[in-house]
Amino acid sequence: MQVFMISDRPQGVINASTVFGQPTGSAGCLLPVRRVAGLFATALLWLTSGVIAVTACADEPVATAVPPLNALSTHRHDPIVVRSKPVIERLPVKVLQPVDLQVSANGQIFVADAQAACVFRLDSHGQVSLAVRDLPGISRIQLDRDGGLYVLTVVGAESHLYQATPEGLTVHLHTLRFPAIAFTRNSIGEFFVGQRQQLWKIGTDGQQTCITQLPSALLDLGSNPAESAVALLQNGLVCQVSADGVLAVSGQAQAGSLRLLPGIGGRFLTLARSAPQAPGESGLALYHVSDRSQVKADPVDGPTLLARVPSGTEAAGLDPLGNLCLANPDLKAVTKATTRFHIPCPHCGQQTLLIFDATAPLPDDVSSF
């Protein structure tokens, strides 16, 4: 036996205040991310299709999906914007001194902990495991396109590069006779390693070569979508590095930048010190790196603010949807601020982007779905 309740609610319009209530002045939503997204998806299905399935006898097969009534055969999948602050959660991992953070293409979060001498791995379901253990001096970690994990350690005047295997083993790859600041690796298997004023290349044959002298002190290294090394320099320049060490200025970073990280759509972000704009506000923030040609054309087109982050933040990363993950040794915490979710379209099931935006129009405004 199956029972269906059919509603005569009008279809086609979503009012954010109906689903979430009036906006509040709280510092941020504290409900678990999956619960918030699930509640919204349930409300969205009810509003648009008006169908609620009630399962019946235990000895009968239970329907897992009910085709929505009056589903639209032709419709759009524009992002749905809701006036709301981010969903902020402290991830279930006990860290002591997190010094680096990377997010894989499938949403796994890797956190390097220098004091615990390990690298934690958090999967998309919140399960925590150790990707690397008992490795003193961990400084930086990197993920390649296939999800391979590489670790840089610095002990005294020497640095070491390791690869972590899926079986949980740590394989030593290279030793460098200087304290390295950062590194990156391409799909060919070449490493680029930064010293304060120099960039070194380690070929697939293990040969170490100093490929360039830097015009300013190195702060961080990253990799662009073409797998070229990208350097953040103390003078604020962001430079692409060719295989033979030629630097090409590609962007301008915010003054006081400390770390470089990939953003959405191939753009880069920097974690930077900045003057608080209000009492009690953090002096750390994430900024978009501006395109160098735009800055030359108009100095107003400089780095733009993405978000302010808590004081003490040491590293940051973005998940595949663009949600912010932070590692903070002062708080001994890894946190995630979620503003983007995927929910199923009630008409066809296609994943549709839901965005929480504190500056969105007031709930009196409505959005067509």
User: Of 13 and 255, which is predicted with more confidence?
Assistant: 255
**Whole-number percent of the chain with pLDDT over 90:** 63
Which whole number is the average pLDDT over 217-236?
A: 95
pLDDT of residue 264: 86
Gap between the Cα atoms of 352 and 224, Å rounded:
27
User: Of 274 and 247, which is predicted with more confidence?
Assistant: 247
User: Of 366 and 107, which is predicted with more confidence?
Assistant: 107
pLDDT at 4 over 60: no
pLDDT of residue 168: 83
Dihedral Cα 265, 267, 272, 278, nearest 10 deg:
-50
Where are the chain's structural domains? 3-83+343-359, 87-338
pTM of the model: 0.78
Range with the lowest mean pLDDT among 16-25, 165-174, 186-195? 16-25
Confidence of residue 277 (pLDDT cuts 50, 70, 90): confident
Tell me which residue of 288, 277, 359, 284 sits closest to 326, measured CA to CA: 284
Residues 256-267: tens digit of each pLDDT: 999 999 998 889
pLDDT at 51 over 50: no
Which whole number is the average pLDDT over 333-343?
A: 95
Confidence of residue 296 (pLDDT cuts 50, 70, 90): low
pLDDT at 297 over 60: no
Gap between the Cα atoms of 335 and 202, Å rounded:
34
Burial of 150 (0-12, 13-18, 19+ CB in 10 A): buried
Confidence of residue 70 (pLDDT cuts 50, 70, 90): low
Confidence of residue 289 (pLDDT cuts 50, 70, 90): very high
Which CATH superfamily includes the segment(s) 87-338?
A: TolB, C-terminal domain (2.120.10.30)
Which of the residue ranges 58-62, 137-141, 144-148, 342-346 has the most confident prediction, judged by mean pLDDT?
A: 137-141
Length, in residues, of the chain: 369
pLDDT at 272 over 90: yes
Which whole number is the average pLDDT over 108-113?
A: 97
Nearest 5°: the CA angle 39, 338, 350 is 55
pLDDT at 23 over 60: no
Range with the lowest mean pLDDT among 13-22, 69-78, 129-138, 161-170? 13-22
CB-CB contact of 159 with 172 (8 Å): no
pLDDT at 39 over 70: no
